[in-house]
């Protein structure tokens, strides 16, 4: 599903190079639930961004479902993010001026789905996360847990096979965090691949496998 | 309600509209300025044109002069004076002439009901009406061919003459006495703007059939011949032929510019037309520059909005927005801002122009108000305006929009 071969990521910072990832090779199979751990600055986020096609590696090859991602255009990557990957961020990253409904609808709109399909899908998703009654609310009118559930619904909009969660419970109280983890667990049982960054061992313990990063390398 | 991308963008824009209020005002103001400048400019030039043609349109006026060259042994300084038969002579020999009319005049006392005034009294023919835009007020008429053929004692008078002699009363059918001979008034000149003339504006003149005029006038000469060529482009040719024909008849050099005095309003109008066009273009540019200031404001605002919304752009990219979508959004927002500002500017300008047009203007003298108070709002102006606005929307929106779409998704997401 996700295959890294000798991935390097080098940032140019005011003249000197910063190696965020040095020679990372890894394999995440279909339907796996993997957590990525490591101290800050170990390259977790960079790894996630490359998996999420938000960033491109400086060296090495990344195969997503057997397809080499290197050399794809911005719009091709956008299409992959739209259909194959669902993002859940620590700070939710919902659009502040849009309602819960609109936030969930937007990926469908970008995917060119017609109005009827969008309506059915958004209703289905909001119902699944228990927020159908809150569809007209804006993010600022929702609690953190509710916002993260909207974000999860949005991540699932185009039914992607992979969910990328970057510290999904980092900003939540334990009860809401538990809810989100429950939902992620359910998605995994439904056959989705879950990749999650966390620094909480108890959260990581919910996954099948933990990849530990240290200084830009798999430890 | 179905969400579509434009509707979604419009929603987002609406929620932020307070931030663009000042820019909207600048656009409103710019639009108002452009449209008013164009409308008043157009109105001014069209009033100029009307009053310029108040004397007559496409008109060549010929009167006698004095030779300035020795010709066929004759000395220079000879006086050249035309006679009434020259009219027929020219008409028969110059096929490019469409209309031709003679004119002679003399200053005489004109009286009615015990009032007496001194006015220029002209003798001419029916064709004069077309040549010199002598439009009668309702209920009256200009001199007709019959009047001239039969030497009727009828008169056509200017509106000021009518007022001076008859006050508010209708002069048509009334008697006036010209140089001790009674004439019946058949028509009064309608008010018109006129900025070029000889012997004062047409409002102050009295016109008699040429034949009747000749009976009370002692001199055998003709003061002026009016010619309208078949086409504007023929005016110079007609002028040359007149010089050649009359030169042969009165024995002067056809190249002698002083032997005949020729006033070619067509050539004047060409020059004036260029000046008017120049004024209009100048005003248009002034207005466009004003609007440009608004557009610069919009560009600035759009850059600020792009910066402020960097994170939102990142989010949209993360969930699969293509570059085109990001560009579209900012172009559309620019368009919304422009529409809001220019719409109200347009409405205001439109109403102002039509309000100003309601103010009455006087046709006496040459008050500045006659030129200023008749702004014109034409389709052409509207199209020019749309062109300017369209270009500015594109220019002020495209750069911020492209910048937004070129953002790195990661950096955009992290932007605080």
Strand B206-209 and strand B115-124: the pairing is parallel
Q: What span, in angstroms and rounded, lies between the C-alpha atoms of B337 and B17?
A: 9
Using CA coordinates, name the residue in chain A closest to B407.
A74
A219/chain B closest Cα distance in angstroms: 25
State residue B364's pLDDT score: 59
Whether residue B95 contacts residue B237, with contact meaning beta carbons closer than 8 Å, is answered with no
The three-point CA angle B22-B23-B25 to 5° equals 65
The residue ranges of chain B whose pLDDT is under 70 are: 1-3, 16-17, 52-55, 195-196, 199, 362-368
For chain A, give the mean pLDDT: 92
Are B8 and A96 inside 8 Å of each other by CB? Answer: no
What does R_g of chain A's alpha carbons equal in angstroms?
A: 17
State residue B366's pLDDT score: 57
Are B312 and A83 inside 8 Å of each other by CB? Answer: no
Q: Number of A:B CB contacts under 8 A?
A: 77
B12/chain A closest Cα distance in angstroms: 6
Q: What span, in angstroms and rounded, lies between the C-alpha atoms of A181 and A178?
A: 5
Sheet holding A59-64, edge to edge: A16-28, A2-13, A59-64, A67-68
Q: What span, in angstroms and rounded, lies between the C-alpha atoms of A145 and A177?
A: 7
Strand A85-88 and strand B115-124: the pairing is unpaired
Q: What span, in angstroms and rounded, lies between the C-alpha atoms of A6 and A3?
A: 10
Q: What span, in angstroms and rounded, lies between the C-alpha atoms of B414 and B411?
A: 5
Are B320 and A78 inside 8 Å of each other by CB? Answer: yes
State residue B1's pLDDT score: 41
Strand B60-64 and strand B224-229: the pairing is antiparallel
Residue written as token pair 């639930």: A33
State residue B204's pLDDT score: 87
B35/chain A closest Cα distance in angstroms: 36
For chain B, domain boundaries: 5-53+270-414, 102-229
Give the count of beta carbons closer than 10 Å to the beta carbon of residue B382: 14
Whether residue B367 contacts residue B361, with contact meaning beta carbons closer than 8 Å, is answered with yes
Q: Which two tokens stand for residue B243?
A: 């010089």
Of A52, A75, A115, the CB nearest to B2: A115
B344/chain A closest Cα distance in angstroms: 27
* Beta strands, E only, A42-154: 59-64, 67-68, 85-88
Of A79, A89, A97, the CB nearest to B320: A79
The DSSP 8-state label assigned to residue A130 in this structure reads T
For chain A, domain boundaries: 30-54+73-218
Whether residue B388 contacts residue B34, with contact meaning beta carbons closer than 8 Å, is answered with yes
Partners of residue A96 in chain B, C-beta under 8 Å: 312
Residue written as token pair 């102002």: B352
| DSSP codes joined into one string, A28-65 | E-TT-EEEEE--TTSSHHHHHHHHTTSS--SEEEEEET
Give the count of beta carbons closer than 10 Å to the beta carbon of residue A208: 12
Q: What span, in angstroms and rounded, lies between the C-alpha atoms of B130 and B58?
A: 11
Partners of residue B8 in chain A, C-beta under 8 Å: 98, 102, 106, 109
Total-model pTM: 0.66
The closest alpha carbon to B326, from B209, B245, B394, B407, belongs to B407
3-state secondary structure of A151: helix
Q: What span, in angstroms and rounded, lies between the C-alpha atoms of A212 and A39?
A: 9
Using CA coordinates, name the residue in chain A closest to B317.
A78
Partners of residue A119 in chain B, C-beta under 8 Å: 2
Are A78 and B12 inside 8 Å of each other by CB? Answer: no
Q: Return the CATH superfamily for domain A30-54+73-218.
A: P-loop containing nucleotide triphosphate hydrolases (3.40.50.300)
State residue B23's pLDDT score: 77
State residue B20's pLDDT score: 75
Of B312, B321, B410, the CB nearest to A78: B321
Strand A85-88 and strand A162-166: the pairing is parallel
The closest alpha carbon to A216, from A47, A60, A3, A42, belongs to A42
The closest alpha carbon to B263, from B241, B235, B237, belongs to B235
B6/chain A closest Cα distance in angstroms: 11
Residue B253 main-chain phi, psi, to 5 deg? -70, 125
Are B312 and A75 inside 8 Å of each other by CB? Answer: no
3-state secondary structure of A144: helix
**Interface check B325 vs A, CB under 8 A:** yes
* Integer angstrom CA distances of residue B381 from B195, B276, B288, B336, B351: 26, 15, 12, 22, 15
Over residues A42-55, the pLDDT tens digits come to 889 899 999 999 98
Per the model's pLDDT, the better-predicted residue between B194 and A125 turns out to be A125
Residue written as token pair 């030779």: B67
Partners of residue A158 in chain B, C-beta under 8 Å: 320
Are A93 and B317 inside 8 Å of each other by CB? Answer: no
Give the count of beta carbons closer than 10 Å to the beta carbon of residue A36: 27
Over residues A53-80, the pLDDT tens digits come to 998 899 999 999 888 988 889 999 999 9
The closest alpha carbon to A79, from A187, A191, A160, belongs to A160
Partners of residue B410 in chain A, C-beta under 8 Å: 49, 54-55
Partners of residue A93 in chain B, C-beta under 8 Å: 311, 314-315, 318, 413
- What average pLDDT does this structure show over A175-198? 93
SS3 per residue for chain B: CCCCHHHHHHHHHHCCHHHHHHHHHHHHHHHHHHHHHHHHHHHHHHHHHHHHCCCCCCCEEEEECECCCCECCECCCCECCECCHHHHHHHHHCCCEEEEEEEEEEEEEEEECCEEEEEEEEEECCCHHHHCCCCECCCCCCCCHHHHHHCCCEEEECHHHHHHHHCCCCCCCCEEEECCEEEEEEEEECCCCCCCCCCCCHHHCEEEEHHHHHHHCCCCCECEEEEEECCHHHHHHHHHHHHHHHHHHHCCCCCCCCCEEEEEHHHHHHHHHHHHHHHHHHHHHHHHHHHHHHHHHHHHHHHHHHHHCHHHHHHHHHCCCCHHHHHHHHHHHHHHHHHHHHHHHHHHHHHHHHHHCCCCCCCCCCCCHHHHCCCCCCHHHHHHHHHHHHHHHHHHHHHHHHHHHCCCHHHHHHCC
Q: Which two tokens stand for residue B31?
A: 């639009």
Partners of residue B15 in chain A, C-beta under 8 Å: 97
Residue written as token pair 């987002």: B12
Burial grade of A179 (CB within 10 A; 0-12, 13-18, 19 or more) = buried
State residue A26's pLDDT score: 92
B25/chain A closest Cα distance in angstroms: 24
State residue A191's pLDDT score: 93
Give the count of beta carbons closer than 10 Å to the beta carbon of residue A163: 23
Q: How confident is the model at residue A97 (pLDDT cuts 50, 70, 90)?
A: confident
Whether residue A30 contacts residue A64, with contact meaning beta carbons closer than 8 Å, is answered with no
Which residues lie below 8 Å from residue A17, measured CB to CB, with a gap of 6+?
A10, A11
Q: Which two tokens stand for residue B186?
A: 């058949």
Q: How confident is the model at residue A18 (pLDDT cuts 50, 70, 90)?
A: confident
Which residues lie below 8 Å from residue B47, measured CB to CB, with a gap of 6+?
B193, B370, B371, B374
State residue B196's pLDDT score: 67
Q: What span, in angstroms and rounded, lies between the C-alpha atoms of A61 and A5?
A: 5
* Integer angstrom CA distances of residue B43 from B35, B160, B318, B349, B351: 12, 26, 56, 14, 15
356-415 in B: which are within 8 Å (CB) of A? Answer: 408-410, 413
B185 strand-pairing partners: B155
């Amino acid at each position: 599903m996700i295959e890294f071969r000798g991935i390097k990521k080098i940032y140019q910072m005011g003249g000197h190079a910063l190696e965020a990832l040095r020679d990372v090779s890894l394999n995440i199979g279909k339907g796996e639930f993997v957590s990525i751990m490591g101290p800050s600055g170990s390259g977790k986020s960079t790894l996630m961004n490359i998996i999420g096609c938000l960033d491109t590696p400086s060296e090495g090859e990344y195969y997503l479902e057997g397809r080499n991602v290197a050399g794809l255009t911005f719009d091709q990557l956008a299409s992959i993010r739209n259909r194959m990957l669902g993002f859940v961020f620590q700070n939710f990253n919902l659009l502040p001026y849009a309602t819960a409904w609109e936030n969930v609808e937007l990926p469908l709109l970008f995917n060119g789905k017609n109005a009827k399909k969008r309506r059915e899908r958004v209703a289905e998703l909001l119902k699944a996360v228990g927020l159908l009654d809150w569809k007209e609310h804006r993010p600022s009118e929702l609690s953190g847990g509710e916002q993260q559930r909207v974000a999860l619904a949005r991540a699932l909009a185009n039914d992607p096979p992979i969910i990328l969660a970057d510290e999904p419970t980092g900003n939540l109280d334990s009860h809401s965090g538990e809810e989100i983890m429950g939902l992620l667990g359910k998605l995994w049982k439904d056959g989705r691949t879950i990749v999650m960054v966390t620094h909480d061992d108890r959260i990581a313990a919910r996954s099948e496998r933990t990849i530990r990063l240290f200084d830009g390398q798999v430890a | 309600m179905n969400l579509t991308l434009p509707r979604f963008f419009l929603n987002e824009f609406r929620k932020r509209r307070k931030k663009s209020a000042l820019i909207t005002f600048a656009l409103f103001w710019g639009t108002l300025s452009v449209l008013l400048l164009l409308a008043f400019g157009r109105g001014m030039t069209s009033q100029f044109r009307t009053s310029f043609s108040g004397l007559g349109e496409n008109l060549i006026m010929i009167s006698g002069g004095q030779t300035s060259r020795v010709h066929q042994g004759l000395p220079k300084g000879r006086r050249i004076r035309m006679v009434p038969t020259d009219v027929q002579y020219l008409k028969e020999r110059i096929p490019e002439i469409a209309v031709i009319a003679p004119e002679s005049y003399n200053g005489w006392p004109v009286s009615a009901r015990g009032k007496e005034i001194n006015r220029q009294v002209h003798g001419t023919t029916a064709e004069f009406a077309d040549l010199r835009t002598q439009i009668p007020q309702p209920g009256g008429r200009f001199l007709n061919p019959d009047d001239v053929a039969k030497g009727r004692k009828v008169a056509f008078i200017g509106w000021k003459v009518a007022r001076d002699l008859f006050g508010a009363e209708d002069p048509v059918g009334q008697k006036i006495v010209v140089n001790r001979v009674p004439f019946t008034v058949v028509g009064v000149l309608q008010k018109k703007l006129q900025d070029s003339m000889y012997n004062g504006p047409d409002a102050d003149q009295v016109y008699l059939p040429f034949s009747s005029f000749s009976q009370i006038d002692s001199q055998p000469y003709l003061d002026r011949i009016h010619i309208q060529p078949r086409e504007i482009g023929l005016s110079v040719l007609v002028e040359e032929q007149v010089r050649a024909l009359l030169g042969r008849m009165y024995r002067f050099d056809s190249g002698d510019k002083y032997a005949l005095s020729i006033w070619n309003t067509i050539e004047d109008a060409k020059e004036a037309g260029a000046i008017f066009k120049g004024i209009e273009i100048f005003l248009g540019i002034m207005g466009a520059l004003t609007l440009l200031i608004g557009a610069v404001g919009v560009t600035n605002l759009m850059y600020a909005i792009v910066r402020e919304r960097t994170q939102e752009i990142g989010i949209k990219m993360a969930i699969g927005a293509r570059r085109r979508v990001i560009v579209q959004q900012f172009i559309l927002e620019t368009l919304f801002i422009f529409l809001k500002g220019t719409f109200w500017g347009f409405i205001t300008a439109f109403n102002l122009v039509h309000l100003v047009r309601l103010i009455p203007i006087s046709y006496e003298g040459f008050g500045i108000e006659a030129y200023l108070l008749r702004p014109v709002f034409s389709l052409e102006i509207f199209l020019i305006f749309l062109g300017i606005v369209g270009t500015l929307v594109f220019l002020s929106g495209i750069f911020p929009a492209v910048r937004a779409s070129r953002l790195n998704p990661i950096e955009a997401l992290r932007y605080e």
